[in-house]
Amino acid sequence: MFYIILPYITLKNIFTEKIALLKSLTCVIIMLNEHKFDKKDAFMIVMHIDVNSAFLSWTAAYEMQTGIERDILKIPSVIGGNEKNRHGIVLAKSIPAKEYKIQTGMSLMEARRLCPNLFVAPPNYQVYVRASKSLREYLNTFTPDVQVFSIDECFLRFTDLGRSKALSLAHGIRRGVYDNFGYTVNVGVSENKLLAKQAGDLEKPDKCHTIFSEEVEEKLWPLPIENLFMVGRKTKPKLNRLGIYTIGDLARSNYNMISSLFKSHGRLIYNYAWGRDDSTFKRRDAIKSIGNSSTLKFDVTDTETAHAIILSLVEMTAWRLRESEMTCRVVSIRIKDKDFNYILRQKKLLYFTSCTNEIYKNICILFDRYWNKRPVRQLGVSVSDLELANFQQLSIFKDRNILNNEKLDKVVDVIREKYGDTSVIRGVFANNELTPILGGYPEDEYPDMSSTL
């Protein structure tokens, strides 16, 4: 009996001890997991800020500040280029204009057909840039980590904020923007940029929403597939043909099939459908290029006109470069002919510059070398390999002339900011119909906007 009981007691003790040990281990694991969750909770909140109908909101706020009594947000109105030009399109629309089925990107002529009383305000890029900058400065008071995504979109990162407090802070920021500037924003809250952006798009205007990873199935999956970031007009029909109509359909589809059909883009959107995004957080100085392009009113067939158009595009590009307090070392030209063939060429300079004349001169050299004399339908210029203006090294290749021109550019910038874009224009534009400063901030000028987060 003794021999039987002892092992039994011993065994029982060992068994009980093991259970106790297992229980305590489980507790430790649960505690570790909770700790991990707490850590995640406290260390990574990303917010996406998006100005509602930015160009229109900023114009309305500007008009109000300058004492103009109408409120263009409350009437059918749009921001758009010159109605007579080929590139006169709707850049932003008011909610009353939306009721007439007016859409962004529609030609102004078409918009006017839908609503004969439509109020069309011309774009004012100087106002937009100032508004965008003031918004960024305001957002910087909440966190130093502000990543500019486009002229009216930013990501904020908080490394010391719990999830529980995130939504109330998001509402605080939304109200703060309205109280300080008089326009509304959407705020999306999550743990990565992709989900924060998707959350910000859930419901507009003037709203805050969250999509944390555990909310993906409930909030992201029921949405139509075209609402997923990076699923564009070309990818949507291809996915539809595979029976994928919602983001959930994509998430539940076969990864290998999506990967083999759509390659890296397929793998990216598949991961996005699951709310996975491991892109790094880039601050403002990570802007890689600044550019400007325009579809021309007429097909250009001579070098002189092409150079004048390049100059008007460079005026805006170089001004934006200086406005961002940057300099560049690479200049590029994009020439699209009337048959939609296009040539893209770039040139590396021996020095960093923000000088309009230098950028213009070098882009003209590229144009003259690579233009194949076919009628030109669209021209684009851009500058890259950017460096903060404050940190650039002095170069022996920069002569006094360039340095003087850089100073002159800054003076002209100040005058234009105060008295309008056309207060100072180049002589070449004085007696012809060409626009002295072309272009602004179409979405595709932000490389980050159309490719990665």
Residues that bind Mg ion (CB under 5 A): 50-51, 54, 152
Cβ proximity to Mg ion: between 389 and 449 the closer is 449
Question: Do residues 444 and 334 make contact, with C-beta atoms less than 8 angstroms apart?
Answer: no
Nearer to Mg ion, 54 or 166 (CB): 54
Of 432, 412, 414, nearest to 357 by C-alpha is 412
Cα 18 to the chain's mean position, in Å? 57
Q: Which is nearer to Mg ion, 128 or 212 (CB)?
A: 128
> In this structure, how many other beta carbons lie within 10 angstroms of the beta carbon of residue 267?
13
Q: Is the peptide bond before 436 cis (omega within 30 degrees of 0)?
A: no
Which residue's CB is nearer to Mg ion, number 118 or number 154?
154
- Cα gap 397→388, rounded to integer Å: 19
Buried b (16+ CB within 10 A) or exposed e, 175-186: ebbeeebebbbb
Alpha carbons 161 and 453: distance in angstroms, whole number: 22
Tokens matching residue 213: 């990873």
Cα separation, 185 vs 201, whole angstroms: 11
Rounded Cα gap, residues 196 and 189, in angstroms: 5
CA atoms within 13 A on the CB side of 348: 2
Least distance in Å: CB of 126 to Mg ion?
Answer: 19
Spatial separation of the C-alpha atoms in residues 330 and 349, rounded to whole Å: 6
| H helices present in 287-422, as ranges | 303-323, 356-370, 400-419
Toward Mg ion, which CB reaches closer, 53 or 294? Answer: 53
Look up 323 and say whether it is catalytic.
Answer: no
Which residue reads 């021109």 in tokens? Answer: 405
Q: How far is the CB of 54 from Mg ion (least distance, A)?
A: 5
Q: What are the b/e assignments for 47-70, b being 16+ CB within 10 Å?
A: bbbbbbbbbbbbbbbbbbeeeeee
Nearer to Mg ion, 50 or 421 (CB): 50
Query: Closer to Mg ion at the Cβ: 194 or 359?
Result: 194
Q: How far is the CB of 204 from Mg ion (least distance, A)?
A: 9
337 φ, ψ (degrees, to nearest 5): -90, 180
Q: How is residue 393 annotated by DSSP? A: P
The set of residues, in sequence order, having a beta carbon less than 8 Å from that of 172 and lying 6+ positions away, is none
Cβ pair 406, 353 in contact under 8 A: yes
CA distance 31 to 307: 68
Pick 248 or 447: Cβ nearer Mg ion = 447
Choose the catalytic residue: 69, 83, 153, 325: 153
End-to-end CA distance of the chain: 74
Q: How far is the CB of 51 from Mg ion (least distance, A)?
A: 5
Chain centroid offset of residue 383 CA = 17
Tell me which residues are annotated as active site: 153
